[in-house]
Structure 1
Amino acid sequence: MNGRVLAVILLVALLVVVFALMRRGWRARQRRQADVPAPQRTGELGEPLAGAAGMYVVTTSAGDWLDRVAVHGLGVRTDADLTVHPGGVLIARRGADDVVIPTADLESVTTTSGMAGKFVERDGLLVLTWRLGPRRVDTGFRVRHAGEQAALIAALLTLPGVRRRETPGGVPEAEPAPGTGPTEPPDSTDTSESRGPTA
């Protein structure tokens, strides 16, 4: 067996070990989050106020954009359409279950440059903070055409109880739950990603 073949075998073995550890970590995270309820999949939302195609990025614990929610498919990045309705927000995902966020559960909307391994340009991600059962979570969405993001935000701010939360410089800003101390935002390096033409 020559050195090149041995190197390939060792590399393959290393990759198998790495993926096995990643899978084990993901399953452990799912077990820890067994108490997280599944989001609504459908609901009476009314006519859409605004909508955009793009990508469902991730749902994380509110204020901690590295703490990915792994259960109910909420940690899976997919192409999706996001529409805002009087009754709430519908994220229609391709290859995964839809997510409905009722207006009563929505708290705020903001923009940022990245969360949970997805990093783009300043303010390139739309982030919704909402209540999923007893938990507060953040859901990230990236619109395909940059000009549609402002229309989504404007529509969201017409919903009762929803406010705009600023994140200076597009950097993730922790927003602790009532009664808890502030959380430092995760340190991350921004990498740019191209986006389609503005609509």
Structure 2
Amino acid sequence: MSALAPASLAADGQAQVTNWPGYIGWTVGLVIVIALVYWLMRQGWNWRRTLQSDLPALPEVPADPGPVTRTAAGRYHGTTTAGNWLDRVVAHDLGTRSLADLTLTERGLLARRPGTADLWIPVEALAGARQDSGIAGKVVPSGLLVVGWRLGSTGLESGFRLDRPDQHAAWIAAILELSTRTQQTEGTAS
């Protein structure tokens, strides 16, 4: 009788381990939940884009952006409304993260973004720059270069992380100097 006991335990254990209909049911259920969450996130992104559809079109990149002041490579992390670092702007592909080649010229800031539209911020639209630790969905303890600018009547802030973060301070100084000089020139012309 003792020889039969281990065989029946193995059979019982085997039946519990190979409950394929249960495993398949749980797997299908999990896939459905993941698909539903993804669909809801996509709907939220599209709803945000609809709410921001009143933003004017981005300025066109000029054929000649002007004399180059500085260049750097890095990443574009997104744009938010000014003063609200969690309110991501997704209209006009401003919510799409990408690599970026930044070029500061006498006429503005150009961010060449492979895979999406380039971002041109004319010098008249620049509203300043600073180093901050985060912007909508990206927090970096060593900091991001945050550029303030205006699109129509809306204040925006775009976050960049240069490949060499030690250059952030020099970029901030250059952008502030350029925007201050432009504001003084416009004030004198008025």
- Which residue number corresponds to residue 59 of structure 2? 40
Q: Which has the larger displacement, 146-155 or 32-41?
A: 146-155
User: Matched residue of 2:86: which SS?
Assistant: strand
1:127-185 deviation digits (Å, cap 9, x = unpaired): 011100111111110001122223322321220337xxxxxxxxxxxxxxxxxxxxxxx
TM-score where L is the length of structure 2: 0.80
- Aligned residue for 1:148, secondary structure, equals helix
Match of 2:135 in 1: 115
Which of 87, 112, 119 pairs up with 1:99? 119
Structure 1 runs (4+) greater than 3 angstroms displaced: none
- Please give the alpha-carbon distance, in whole angstroms, between the structure 2 residues aligned to 1:47 and 1:30: 35
Q: Quote the Cα distance in structure 2 between the aligned partners of 1:52 and 1:75.
A: 21
Task: Specify which of 133, 136, 156 is matched with residue 152 of structure 2.
Answer: 133
Q: CA deviation at 1:85?
A: 0.8
Q: Could you tell me how far apart the structure 2 residues matched to 1:111 and 1:127 are?
A: 6
Whichever structure has more helix as a proportion of its residues is: 2
Q: How many Å separate the matches in 1 of 2:126 and 2:25?
A: 55
For the 8 Å contact 2:127–2:179, the answer to whether it is kept is no
AA in 2 matched with 1:144:
D
Question: Relative to structure 1, is the Cα distance of residues 160 and 61 closer, same or farther in structure 2, using a 3 angstrom cutoff?
Answer: closer
C-alpha contact (below 8 Å) 2:67/2:105 kept by paired residues: yes
Rounded to whole Å, the distance in 2 between the matches of 1:113 and 1:4 is: 44
Q: Distance in 2 between matches of 1:41 and 1:97?
A: 10
Letter in 2 for 1:24: Q
Aligned to 1:25: 44
Structure 2, unmatched stretches of 5+, are 1-19, 182-190
Shift of residue 37, structure 1, vs aligned partner: 1.3
Cα offsets for 1:75-121 (capped at 9, x unmatched): 00000111111111001101011011011111110111111111111
Contact residue 109 and residue 129 of structure 1 kept, 8 A: yes
Counterparts of 1:27 and 1:156, CA distance in 2: 33
Q: Partner residue of 1:14?
A: 33
Match in the other structure for 1:90 = 110
Unaligned runs of 5+ in 1: 163-199
TM-score (norm 1): 0.76
Equivalent in the alignment of 1:3: 22
Aligned partner of 1:62 in structure 2 is 82
Task: Using CA pairs under 8 Å that are at least 6 residues apart, name the structure with larger relative contact order, 1 or 2.
Answer: 1
